[in-house]
Structure 1
Amino acid sequence: MQHRSGPPTPEPLPSPESLIASGQYLVDCPSWLAFLGEDKRMKYSNHFISRNDKIWELISTEIRFVDLLLVIRDVFLKAFLPKRCDSLDLAENLFPHIEVLLDAHTRLLYHMLAEHTATPDHVAKNFGRCFTRVLTDEMMNRLVEAYGALMFVQSSLSDRLGRLKADPAFAERLSVSSWPFVT
């Protein structure tokens, strides 16, 4: 099941930033019909409009998710000091496999935008192809591992924070009223 039909993903893949910029119209406009113009409403059935609005929402959500992954990578991970041999790799421990997630979702966004812009009216005839091109067996295994590790880390951090908040002395230190710079 490794070979998927359709055009291959280009190598090198366009940057996530350029894909976000090219799909910005999806984020800026609330729906497919609003993009085309309300005057076109009578040309299409309500079911057809609803279908395309859902696809519009799916792509704009993927754009926002790729943007969030970029923020995590560029703001949080680059803020950590480089890993030393005698220290923990905080970036990998807090956000494991972030590059795998960013790569997979960038590939998915590339195919979603290609399918969506293939016709002048932005109607995706077969949107499932976007997923079958990207979600190979290998990619699905990598995503399961990446999301599993991320969920484990986030769950562990939440548990630890909960235990710390249960400690009255530590909870007092965490309270905003004890911070000297907050008025």
Structure 2
Amino acid sequence: RNRRVAPVVVAADLGWTLCGHRAATKVTPDNPTRGGDPLNWAEGHSACAQTLCPQSVGGEECGAHGYDTAAPEMRALFMARGPAFRKDGARLVEGVGQGEARAYTGQAATNGAGSETGAKNWESKTLAFDNVDVHSIVARALGIDLRAAALADGSPPPAVDGKLSDGLADLLFDLGAGGARAAASSSGGRDSGGGSGGDGGD
């Protein structure tokens, strides 16, 4: 129910993709719009794999946009480094059995690193939070209190859906980084932000 979303939306199941007729052609001086033959589906389909699996990366790394955001495969990787963030290289994981998220460090965080089995093992455990929370995370890392901030013309910043929870802030930020951590404590309250289905926290 948003003016930017079409009345009918078609999404492919995981493992499948949809290619239009424009996928078969490239932008050239003679064809600046990449227009293929709209009546010839085979023409577009023949270049679909080339478009999604470019030879520049060996033809093995494939990807496409537009899948259901609830799918774990649609999660992005979140990595942060800076004076406001913790310095121990922690891997944030969902609370397995404990009901709350935890931070693994040292050998516990690198167990199985570099192996396909290890990657699959960590995939189901890695902490996830919503994309809309990234705005609040970056603001707090910079020491910006969003409630008191104002744009150049004096107007308040646009409202955002994401709000950083105290629990996620404690996992992300260096407790000894006075300014940033103090800003996180004073501007947050008991928000709701550590949900699943968004960026993978690391």
- TM above 0.5, yes or no, is no
TM-score where L is the length of structure 1: 0.26
Q: Which has the higher strand share?
A: 2
Q: Which has the higher helix share?
A: 1
TM-score where L is the length of structure 2: 0.24
Greater relative contact order (CA < 8 Å, ≥ 6 in sequence): 1
